[in-house]
């Protein structure tokens, strides 16, 4: 893996880590609600706190999507490149490709579902002194699961990119082309030497 691969790895890791921090922040800032009596009539309503968690969750969702697009764009999504040499590196690349996609989809599902549920507010009202009004809130742990899967996605993406770079045939094809060029050059030199020797004999 050459020096040109380092910026790609930095981008992948940075985007995942920022998404992880945002997912953790979303878990800590989940919207809370409590039943409050309406001072103008005999009804109760749900009073909700901050919706910052929704913004954090959607931001993490977007960053994770960008990171996955970058790594699969560079590697041609494993399917559309020049192909890879057989061996252990290729097997590892396929494994981490699947692993990164499974963890990515799981993280995105948690982040999107958590953001949508956190943004939902109970609109109907209850009767004051009557049955208890149930205020809908996001259950604990959804964004936390998204954060954990984001870290797994980062690990999978980094190792997938690394093993793909090792198994990529680009380097082998380059060396093979260079070898063919050197062989052709040597052949032409030999032909010129033979013609020169025949000319001197005549």
pLDDT tens, residue order, the chain (202 aa): 555 578 999 999 999 999 999 999 999 988 877 767 666 666 777 777 777 889 999 999 999 999 999 999 988 876 655 555 566 778 888 899 999 999 999 999 999 999 988 887 666 555 444 456 677 777 889 999 999 999 999 999 999 998 888 876 554 344 344 344 444 455 566 555 665 555 555 5
pLDDT at 63: 97
22 vs 116: CA distance, rounded Å: 16
Phi first, then psi, for residue 125 (nearest 5°) are -115, 160
pLDDT at 26: 92
Residues present in the chain in total: 202
Q: What is the radius of gyration, based on Cα positions, of the chain? A: 30
Please report, for residues 193, 194, 195, 196, the alpha-carbon distance to residue 200 in angstroms, rounded to integers and kept in the order given: 11, 10, 9, 6
CB of 153 within 8 A of CB of 104?
A: yes
Joined tokens for residue 42: 């005999």
Residues 104-127 as b/e (b if ≥16 CB within 10 A, e otherwise) read bebbbebbebbbebbbeebeeebe
179 vs 22: CA distance, rounded Å: 51
pLDDT at 46: 76
DSSP secondary structure letters along 15-56: HHHHHHHHHHHHHHT---EEEEE-TTSSEEEEEE---HHHHH
pLDDT at 11: 94
């Amino acid at each position: 893996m050459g020096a040109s691969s380092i910026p790609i790895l930095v981008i992948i890791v940075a985007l995942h880590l920022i998404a992880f921090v945002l997912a953790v922040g979303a878990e800590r800032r989940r919207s809370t609600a409590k039943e409050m009596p309406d001072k103008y009539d005999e009804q109760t309503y749900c009073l909700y706190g901050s919706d910052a968690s929704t913004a954090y969750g959607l931001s993490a969702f977007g960053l994770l999507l960008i990171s996955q697009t970058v790594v699969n764009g560079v590697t041609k999504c494993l399917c559309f490149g020049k192909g890879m040499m057989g061996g252990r590196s290729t097997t590892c690349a396929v494994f981490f490709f699947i692993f990164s996609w499974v963890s990515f989809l799981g993280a995105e599902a948690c982040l999107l579902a958590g953001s949508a549920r956190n943004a939902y507010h109970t609109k109907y009202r209850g009767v004051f002194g009557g049955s208890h009004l149930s205020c809908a809130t996001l259950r604990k742990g959804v964004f936390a699961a998204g954060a954990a899967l984001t870290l797994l996605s980062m690990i999978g993406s980094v190792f997938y990119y690394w093993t793909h770079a090792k198994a990529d045939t680009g380097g082998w094809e380059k060396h093979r082309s260079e070898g063919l060029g050197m062989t052709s050059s040597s052949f032409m030199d030999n032909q010129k030497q033979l013609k020169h020797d025949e000319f001197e004999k005549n």
